[in-house]
Amino acid sequence: MRKVISRYATSGGARIAYQTVGNGSLDVVLVPGFPSNIEILWEDPGFGHLVKRLAAFCRLILLDPRGMGLSDGIDSRNPPDARGRAADILAVMDAAGSGRAALIGASDGAAAAMLAAAMWPSRCRALVLHGGYACFLASVMDAKALQAFASATEGAWGTGATLARLAPRRAADRALVGWWGRLERLSASPTAAAALVGMWGALDVRDSLPSIAVPALVLHRTGDAHVPVESSRALARGIPGARLVELPGEEHPIWMGDVDAAADAIEQFLTGEKPVAHGDRMLAALLVLRVLGMSSGAGRTVPGRHLGERMELFRDALPPVVARHGGHARWTRPDQAHARFPAAARAASCAVALRETAASLGLWVAQGIHVGEIDPSPEDLSGPVLDVADRIAARGSGPEILLSRLASELVSGSGLQFVDRGALAGIDCRAPLPLVAIASERHLEPRSRTAPRAANLDALTPREREVLALVADGLSNPHIAVDLGLSEHTVKRHVANILLKLDLPSRAAVAGLAARRDAP
C-alpha cells in the first residue's frame, strides 16, 4: 500500500487532519473513537488490516476528531459538542473533494456521524455505526462513574491504562500496553484527555434518530467491554429502517478483534455484494519476535549501556537468518519483527536460530508461532493469524519459543520436542488455544535401566565440566553460549551428553549433583 500523506481541512477556524486511501468510486469517511492519531494507528496490524479491507472497494477518508492526534486541540473549559464534530466531518469531505459519502462512526464518533447524517442527508449516502450510543449517560455509565473515570484517565494518561477499559483481555500484553501508552500521549495531553472523556457525558443525540433518512447498519460486539450491546439495539430501534448485526467478541475498537467480520458486514451493506473469499489466500506459519532487553546470567532482562548497538546488529542479522529458512521478515517496531514461512517446521527451526543469534549478542527475545490462512502479500502482513501469533509471543518470556498446539502438530518429524505451556484464552470467543514450548534440550537417545548408575564426573570432558559448572549456577543455554563463546546448538549437545553420561533426568538433577559434590 502506498505511503499515506496527512492533510488538513479547515472547520470553524480549526484544522482537522485527514488522510485518503484507495481509489474506489464510493467515498467512505471513518470517524474514529477515543484515542486517535491517524499516523500512529497505522503501526497496529489490526488497524492496517481494517483500512486495507475497506479501501479495497472505496476511497476511504480517515480523520482525527478535533482535540485528538494531528488535529487542533480543544479548549478544555469549552470542548466542542457533537454538532461541532459533525461540522468537522463535512469540512473534511469538502477538503477531500467528496460531494457525498457513506459515514462509519465508531464509539464516540458514532454520535457525530449520526448528527451529520440527520443534518445533511444530501451529503450522506449511508450510515454505519460500530459500538456506538445515542446517550452516553443512559447507555454506558452514570455521571458519577464518568467523573471518576475521567479523573483516573488524567492521572494515568500515557501509561496505556485505558486499554484495560476498551479491550481488557489485551491489557495483559505488555508490548501492546506500551504502544497504547504512546498512542495516548500522541493523541492528547492529560488535561485534554480528561476533557474529552468528560465530554462524553454531554453526548445525547436521541432526538435526532428519527430524522436519519439514509440506509443505516448498526454493528456491535456482544461482549463489548466498554459499551453494552443494548445501546446499539436501542439505536436500531430508533433509526428508521436500521439493520442490526451483532458480532462475537469483546474488543471495543473497531480495528481490534475479528476485523474481517466487521469489514465483511460493512462491505456487503455499502456495495450490495457479498464479499468474495480471497482465492489467493495461503496457509502459512507466522512468527512474531520481541526483543525484551539484554540478558543476565540469572535468567532475566537487564538494562545495558550498549543495548542500542546490539539491537542495530540484531536488526541487520534477522532478515538473512529468516531468508535462509525460506521466510520473509520485516521489523514492524524497533523491538518487534514479524516473519512468515511456508511451513511450521521452518518457522520453528528459524526461531531456534534467531534465539542463538540473539544470545550471541546478549539479547533476550520471546517468540510466538501460529499457523493459518493469510493474504500472500509480504508487504502488508496482518489479520487474525498474526494477532494470535503476537499474543503467543506476548505470553512468553525469553528465550522461550512458544507455539500453538496446531503449529506444533505440523512440525512432526523435525526432531524438536515440546512441553505444555497452558492455553491462551479469548481467541474469537472460542475454546482456549493450547500452547507448547520448544524443549531446551533432551537426551541424545532413549535409555532404560532397572537401576541407575552412579554418577561419574570423571567421564566428562573438560568442556563438559565447564558447562556443568554453569548449569549448576543456574545459567540457561543461551547464557552459557555467550559465556563460553559457543553456539546455543553446541551447548545443547554438551548438556545432552552430560545428562547421558551421568544418567540424570534433568538440569535440576545436574545442579543438585554438583551441589552435593561441592558440599563440605
Q: Where are the domains of the chain?
A: 7-137+203-271, 282-438, 457-518
The pLDDT of residue 445 is: 44
pLDDT at residue 82, rounded to an integer: 81
| pLDDT given at position 449 | 43
- 115 with 128: CB under 8 angstroms? no
List, in order, residues 6 or more apart from 198 with CB less than 8 Å away: 79, 146, 147, 150
For the four alpha carbons of 288, 289, 290 and 295, in that order, the dihedral sign comes to positive
* 517 three-state secondary structure: helix
- pTM for this predicted structure: 0.62
Q: In b/e form, how buried is each residue of 286-318, taking b as 16+ CB within 10 angstroms? A: bbbbbbbbbbeeeeebeeeeebeebbeebeeeb
Q: pLDDT at position 397, please?
A: 77
CA distances from 234 to 81, 220, 231, 371, 486 (A): 22, 11, 5, 39, 65
How many angstroms separate the Cα of 170 from the Cα of each of 12, 52, 93, 174?
38, 23, 34, 9
Given a contact cutoff of 8 angstroms between Cβ atoms, the answer to whether 346 and 326 are in contact is: yes
* pLDDT for 122: 95
CATH number among 3.40.50.12280, 3.40.50.1220, 3.30.70.1230, 2.70.98.60, domain 282-438: 3.30.70.1230
Contacts of 16 (CB under 8 A, 6+ apart): 8, 9, 10, 63, 64, 65, 66, 71, 72, 88, 91, 92
In this predicted structure, what is the pLDDT of residue 414? 66
Residue type, 332: T
Contacts (Cβ under 8 Å, ≥6 apart) of 289: 318, 336, 337, 338, 339, 351, 354, 365, 366, 367, 393
Written as one letter, the residue type at 425 is A
Which of the residues in the chain have pLDDT under 50?
A: 1, 279, 297-304, 378, 429, 442-452
Query: Which among 98, 135, 97, 137 is positioned nearest to 114, based on CA atoms?
Result: 135
Q: In the prediction, which pLDDT does 356 show?
A: 86
Give the 3-state DSSP-derived string for 130-163, with helices as H, strands as E and coil as C: ECCCCEHHHHCCCHHHHHHHHHHHHHHCCCCCCH
Q: What is the pLDDT of residues 81-125, one digit of tens each?
A: 788 899 999 999 999 999 999 999 999 999 999 999 999 999 999
- Closest to 425 (Cα-Cα) out of 160, 170, 146: 170
* Residue 111 CB neighbours (<10 A): 28
Distance CA(248)–CA(74), nearest Å, equals: 35
Which of these, 229, 247, 205, 234, lies nearest to 110 by C-alpha position?
A: 205
Contact status, residue 330 vs residue 354, Cβ threshold 8 Å: no
CATH topology of 7-137+203-271 equal to that of 457-518?
A: no
Closest by alpha carbon to 227, among 310, 118, 111? 111
Of 392, 397, 395, 430, the closest CA to residue 408 belongs to 392
Give the model confidence (pLDDT) of 120-149 as tens digits.
Answer: 999 999 999 999 999 999 999 999 999 999
C-alpha cell at 80: 466542542
Residues 6+ apart with CB under 8 A from 155: 190
CATH number, domain 7-137+203-271: 3.40.50.1820
Report the candidate in 115, 107, 142 with the shortest Cα–Cα distance to residue 231.
Answer: 107
Q: How many residues does the chain have?
A: 520
CATH 1.10.10.10, domain 457-518, yes or no: yes
Cβ atoms within 10 Å of 278's Cβ, excluding its own:
12
CA-to-CA distance for 247 and 205, rounded, in angstroms?
24
> Diameter of the chain by CA atoms?
91
Dist CA 404 CA 389 (whole Å): 8
230 in Cβ contact with 203 (< 8 Å): no
pLDDT on residue 443: 44
